[in-house]
Every structure is written in C-alpha cells, then in structure tokens.
Structure 1
Amino acid sequence: MQTESKSFQTGLSDKAVETLKKQLVDLVEPLTDHQLLDLADGIHEMLRQRRAVRQHHAERMNERVRQGVDLRV
C-alpha cells in the first residue's frame, strides 16, 4: 500500500489512529455483514472523491504552469 506524502496527512498521530481503529472495530462489531460492507463502501467512495479532487487540483496547477501563469504570491 502506498503512503501519501506528509502534505496530505491530517494531524492525527499514529497512536491516535490506532486508538480510533480500536474504537471503530468495537462500534461496528454488532453490524451485519451487509451494514459493514455498506459502511466500507461509503468510506471508499469518500476516498475516491478526495483523490479525484487532489488529482484535479494537480492537473489544473500543471496546466497553469505550462501556460506560463505567474503563481508567485
């Protein structure tokens, strides 16, 4: 699995992520397989959307650079 660059990571520490994962497992344990798959599909779709936005942004920035737009602040 590829890791994303630090620029796209949130402020959660590794320990906080581990704690969150344990809490999530406890919360989803009583769900049916169908409910759990539905939840996972929703999370996966959110990830797809985030990546699409990032890709779109990167493409637009590259296009502007190719057109010679001055991006200096």
Structure 2
Amino acid sequence: MRTDKNSFQAGLSDRGFETLKRKLVDLVEPLSDHQLLDLADGIHEMLRQRRAVRQHHAERMNDRIWRAVDLRI
C-alpha cells in the first residue's frame, strides 16, 4: 500500500483497496456522465477538506513547538 507521508489515516491493504476499487467501478458503471462527474466532484471536495484540516493541524503543531522553544541565553 502506498502511504502519503502527511497522511494520518490507516487506509486499506493493497488487496482490500483493489477489491473496493473493482466494486466501485461496478457500482458507478450505470451512472450517467453527469452523475459520475458529480460524484467525482464530491470526492475531490472531501479530499480538499481533509488536506486543509491536515495543513491547519500541522501549522498549529509548528506554532506550539516554536512557542515552547526558549531561545533566550
């Protein structure tokens, strides 16, 4: 399984992902182009939101680390 270094989710095994992918393809096959694009837009929006939350979390953690470091001599 490919893992993104900034990803905090467990994900699926390679085998589980391939099974899910095949099932999804079978499920969306009968959709119209418009329906499929709408579904893809929804998934893309979810991904954007996840990335925004991760970025916000990383920035907050960075701020906390730098505030905790006392650079006074």
Please tell me the TM-score bracket, short chain as reference.
Answer: 0.7 to 0.9
TM-score (norm 1): 0.83
RMSD over aligned Cα atoms: 2.1
Percent identity over the alignment is 78
Give unmatched runs, 5+ long, in structure 1.
none
How many residues are aligned here? 68
Choose 1 or 2 for highest CA Rg: 2
TM-score (norm 2): 0.83
State the match for 1:28 in structure 2: 28
Distance 1:21 1:45 in 2: 19
5 Å-filtered alignment, 1:24-63, equals: 24-63=24-63
Give unmatched runs, 5+ long, in structure 2.
none
Higher RCO (C-alpha under 8 Å, 6+ residues apart): 2
